[in-house]
Every structure is written in C-alpha cells, then in structure tokens.
Amino acid sequence: MASFGLMQRTVHCPQPLVEERSSLVAGCSGRGLPVIQRQRRGVCSATNGVQRGRVLRRTAASPDVVSFVDPNDIRKPAAAAAGPTVDKVGVLLLNLGGPEKLEDVKPFLYNLFADPEIIRLPAAAQFLQPLLATIISTLRAPKSAEGYEAIGGGSPLRRITDEQAEALAQSLRAKGQPANVYVGMRYWHPYTEEALEHIKADGVTRLVILPLYPQFSISTSGSSLRLLESLFKSDRALKSLRHTVIPSWYQRRGYVSAMADLIVEELRKFRDVPSVELFFSAHGVPKSYVEEAGDPYKEEMEECVRLIMAEVKQRGFANTHTLAYQSRVGPAEWLKPYTDESIKELGQRGVKSLLAVPISFVSEHIETLEEIDMEYRELAEESGIRNWGRVPALNTNTAFINDLADAVMEALPYVGCLAGPTDSLVPLAIPRTWTVETAYVSASGLGLSLSDRSAIATRSGVGSGSSRESGSSISREGDRGREPALVAGGRRDLEMLLQAYDRERRTLPSPVVMWEWGWTKSAETWNGRIAMIAIIIILALEAASGQSILKNLFLAE
C-alpha cells in the first residue's frame, strides 16, 4: 500500500477500490495544500506536515523507485516494515491531436465533429451526429487541407507533444521520481485508447492524468476526461488502477513565469517597447457553453491573463493588453471579442505595434502557425498595424516542463487515496491561485465551486495586495491569519455542471404513435422530425461554409 508522511507519522492509504467501481479522482496541484480526505472504508489524511515529514530514499529492492519514508514513525505496520511495495508511476498527457499528412485531414475532422462535446445536439437528434460529422468534414476538408499544406503538409502537434513527454520524463527523473510518460490524443493517433493499452502492458500502478490544456473547458479537457471515464468503466484492469486528475493548471507559478519570460523576450525586440499592444488570442468556445452550461473556461482564461500581466508588470513592462477569441466555426455566437474584429478595431484606434500571445496553446500547431502567423498577421497589416510580433508556444520550455513535473509530484500523494461513491461522473477539481491554512475535502473529491471560490477570494484579499510565492503556485498577501476555507466536493461541482450541460440530452418518453390521416399526433411528430433534420443539415452547411444560409434565404432584401 502507498504511504506518505503525516506530521512525523506515516499514514497508509487503504485501497480505494474496495468495490468494483471506477472514478477519476481529482488531484491537488498546490504544493503544501493541507487536506483531510475521508472515504467510505478507511481514512487517508494529510496536513501541512506532508512536506516536512518525508524523506526521499531509494530502496535496495527497487533502485528505480523512490519511496516516502518517515524515519521517526514507530507505528509502521508489519507489512510496511518488511519492505515497500514496488510502485510504477505513469503520467498520461492528454491533447487534441492533429493530422500528420494531408490525407489525414478529412478523417481527423470527422472524429472532431463526431464528438458530442464539440457539437451539441438535442437528445432526439443524436442519431444524426455521424451524418452531421460526415457533412461538415467533407465540406471543410479542402480548406483545412490548404492550411495544413501551408505549414508543411501536416500538424506538428504529435511530434511536439512526444518531445514534451520525453522532457517531462527527464525532469521527473532528475527530481528523483522516475515515471513513464504517455501521450493520448482525443481525435488522432496515438488515441487515448492506445495510450491506456500501453499503460496496462507496462504495469503502471499509480497514474497521474494531465491534460495539456492550461484552462479547463467542456470541449477540451472535459471531452478527454469523459472518454477516459467511459474507458475506465468498461475495463476491469483500469478499474483497479490508482489515479488522479489535474484538470487545469493555468495558475501555477512555473507556467505564469514561463509565459512572462517569453513575452518579455519578444517585447524587447520592438524599437518602441511601451507602445506595443499585448494581444492575447485564445481558442474560442460557443457562448452557450459558458452562459448555459457553466463552462469555467472564460473565467479561467481571464484570470490567467491577469496573472501573466501582473508578472510582466513586476518585470517593469506596463504595456496595455487585449484578450480575444479565435477559431470560431459557423454562425452561432462564440465568446467575444473575436480576434479578427479586435485586430481591426486596434488598427482603427491607431495601434502600430502588436505582439500576439497564443494563450490557450502550449504547442505550435495550425492555429498558431497558420491562423495567427499568416491570416491574422495579414489582417493586422491591412488594418494599419506596421510592427508585428508573436510569442512562441511553450513547447519544451525548461521552466514550463519543470513546473509540470512539480505538478505531477505534488499530485502523487493523492493518487488512490479517495474512493468515489459512484462511477457515473468524473469528479473534477479546479486548483486555485492561493493557498489556505486548512481545507476540508468531501468524500467525493477535491475542488471549489464558483461561489465558494468567490467567497474565498473575498476573504483572502485576492485582487488586492502584492503577489508572493508559495511553493510552486501563486499566492496573495492576506492569506495568513484568515479563517479556514471550506472546500466543496469536486464531484458535486461536476454534477451541477453536467446537469445544465445535459439538459437537452435527457431521455424523454417515446411519443404515442397514432397512424391516422389528418392533423394527428404522429403527423406532428414526423413533421417535427423532418423539419429538425432539414435545419440540422442547413446548420451543418453553415458551419462548413461560414455563411448564414437561413439569413440569406429569409432575410435578404
């Protein structure tokens, strides 16, 4: 059994899966965050002493495994005294994926639009998802292929993600924590299912799941975690695998500092540095995801930019900045302001120098290399912006990779310490940007609801006062001496999120079929279905072409 030091004593976490259930358990990425963890059968707890009471020691039985041992503990059970259990740590990096050659473009797009987290259909129309994906991918493939051809004939995302995985493994090894690092893509090879097969074949006993999306969104990390949840449910071997999830990490000190380093480096290349507009461009999501489904993406993105700008200003650069959203598809309203419209507006305001900052991407891919570097740069020049620059993606930036390694190591003590009462949902947690003196954790997971986070922000003085470093996360002055913060369960938060998100997917009773001529229930039902199919096909054509067909048909003058 895994163990970790607790106030000069070792607490042994019982096996969480005493029943045949599966749940992805949320991890905590804040170093030194005190928690109390309770589960249905047994208790696993940790306090501030988790860092002080541990000694790293290699064992003779397994020289490649680092065990946490408390030399002052006199209450070790006999099993532990006989020797530590051999552990094999794994890290699963989750990412989007991308076509590696031009002939991959169409099937990649099909996989993307066949995902119900990307295109939401009412429950009655879900059977049309494959047809919709076929139509959109067929119509969009030629234009998308042109974009990939412009950047060399394919996406570099897999190559860069593999390099990040190797760099992360090396960083963990240098920090004394050997681990196998795996890559699981959502929409192209190597698929998440392929990565899990390698994880099982390698005999991994503890797994940290790390999406390579700094900010959480339903359509990115959420989609990958839903897939993982279904795979864990259906595979007996995965049900017994101890694991934890780090769902978002935009607030980590290493990430924020690495982004600030890149921004400052590029800023210094301009002749008139103070006049440069910092232009943060994030991947957009439909507005309904945020306003109707409760997606925290917009909130996390805005907070992420605030943290980075605070770090940049601490280094002596007080440039103005803009946050906009790119890559929208179809006529539906997405998060605003849009990147293209914002660039035009900045040009009209007389901005002459602009530094583009890809904020939601940690790897170079088509949206940085083609959309930003080519399309938006050309638009900027047409708008009168003469001086253009672009901050590179983090890729294998040393500070960034080392911080990811720290996040993995901080999450490891929580692997397998919680047993979820059900296997129906993924209990996500959203790590915060400050530390608290005491945190109580429910039996289902770690996390903060939006209302809880606002209350803690008010008590802790977040938004006022200077920043300081606490471990590897950003903390604010005013934390110390405050009353303990009550932390809500991550599972409850996700249930609230998905309850709204799945509102249109709930199963409804089948309609009563009455085969009669005239204005009957069956006629209304089938007329409605035919109309729905027609509208969905039109919406698919609009999404593929970017033109509003309905508007042209009915609103044309």
Q: Over the stretch 131-184, which tens digit does the pLDDT of each residue have?
A: 999 999 999 999 999 999 999 999 999 999 999 999 999 999 999 999 999 999
- The answer to whether residue 525 is domain-embedded is no
Greatest mean pLDDT range, 101-105, 122-126, 417-421, 518-522: 101-105
Task: Report whether pLDDT(24) > 60.
Answer: no
pLDDT mean over 347-373: 97
CA distance 468 to 126: 49
- The answer to whether residue 400 is domain-embedded is no
Q: Give pLDDT, residue 99.
A: 97
pLDDT, one tens digit per residue, over 102-130 is 999 999 999 999 998 888 788 888 889 99
Task: Report whether pLDDT(434) > 80.
Answer: no
Q: Give pLDDT, residue 85.
A: 59
* DSSP code of residue 277: E
* Number of continuous H segments (helices) and E segments (strands) in the chain: 19, 18
Look at the chain and report how many structural domains it folds into.
1
Q: Give pLDDT, residue 422.
A: 34
Which comes out higher in pLDDT, residue 151 or 423?
A: 151
- The answer to whether residue 349 is domain-embedded is yes
For tokens 């999120």, what's the residue?
497
Q: Encoding tokens for residue 23?
A: 């749940």
- What average pLDDT is seen over the chain? 72
pLDDT mean over 335-347: 98
- The answer to whether residue 327 is domain-embedded is yes
The CATH number of the domain where 293 resides is what?
A: 3.40.50.1400
pLDDT mean over 301-325: 98
Domain that holds residue 285: 253-390
Burial 362-401 (b: 16+ CB within 10 A, else e): bbbbbbbbbbbbebbbebbeebebebbbbbebbbbbebbb
Band (pLDDT 50/70/90 cuts) for residue 82 is very low
> CB under 8 Å to 369, separation ≥6 — which residues?
151, 156
* Amino acid symbol at 467: S
What phi, psi does 166 have (nearest 5°)?
-65, -40
pLDDT mean over 391-395: 98
Q: Give pLDDT, residue 13.
A: 41
Task: Report whether pLDDT(10) > 80.
Answer: no
From the list 255, 161, 164, the residue with the least C-alpha distance to 215 is: 255
* DSSP code of residue 26: B
Instruction: Report in angstroms the alpha-carbon separations of 9 from 74, 281, 421.
Output: 8, 48, 28
- The answer to whether residue 69 is domain-embedded is no
In three-state form (DSSP H/G/I as H, E/B as E, the rest C), the secondary structure along 70-134 is: CCCCCCCCHHHHHCCCCCCEEEEEEECCCCCCHHHHHHHHHHHHCCCCCCCCCHHHHHHHHHHHH
pLDDT, one tens digit per residue, over 169-228 is 999 999 999 999 999 999 999 999 999 999 999 999 999 999 999 999 999 999 999 999
Greatest mean pLDDT range, 21-30, 55-64, 287-296: 287-296
- The answer to whether residue 37 is domain-embedded is no
Q: Give pLDDT, residue 186.
A: 96
Greatest mean pLDDT range, 64-73, 512-521, 533-542: 533-542
Task: Please report, rounded to a whole number, the percentage of residues in the chain having pLDDT higher than 70.
Answer: 61
- The answer to whether residue 406 is domain-embedded is no
Which comes out higher in pLDDT, residue 365 or 240?
A: 365
pLDDT mean over 445-467: 31
Task: Report whether pLDDT(514) > 60.
Answer: no
> Quick check: bond before 107 cis, omega within 30?
no
CA distance 215 to 292: 19
**Cα torsion through 39, 44, 50, 55, rounded to 10:** -140
Greatest mean pLDDT range, 32-41, 146-155, 478-487: 146-155
Instruction: Report in angstroms the alpha-carbon separations of 506 from 437, 464, 502.
Output: 41, 43, 7
DSSP codes joined into one string, 484-523: PEE---HHHHHHHHHHHHTGGGS--PPPPP---SSS-HHH
Q: What is the pTM of this model?
A: 0.68
pLDDT mean over 365-382: 98
Distance of CA 268 to the CA centre of its chain: 31
Strands 485-486, 66-69: pairing kind: unpaired
> CB under 8 Å to 58, separation ≥6 — which residues?
65, 66
* Amino acid symbol at 310: A
Greatest mean pLDDT range, 388-402, 405-419, 421-435: 388-402
Instruction: Report in angstroms the alpha-carbon separations of 183 from 123, 205, 363, 414.
Output: 32, 17, 14, 22
- The answer to whether residue 172 is domain-embedded is no
> Which spans in 153-207 are helix H?
157-174, 192-201
Task: Report whether pLDDT(453) > 50.
Answer: no
CA distance 426 to 444: 10
Tell me if 280 sits within 8 A of 259, measured CB to CB: no
Beta bridge partners of 180: 90
Q: Give pLDDT, residue 537.
A: 76
Q: What is the largest CA-CA distance in the chain?
A: 85
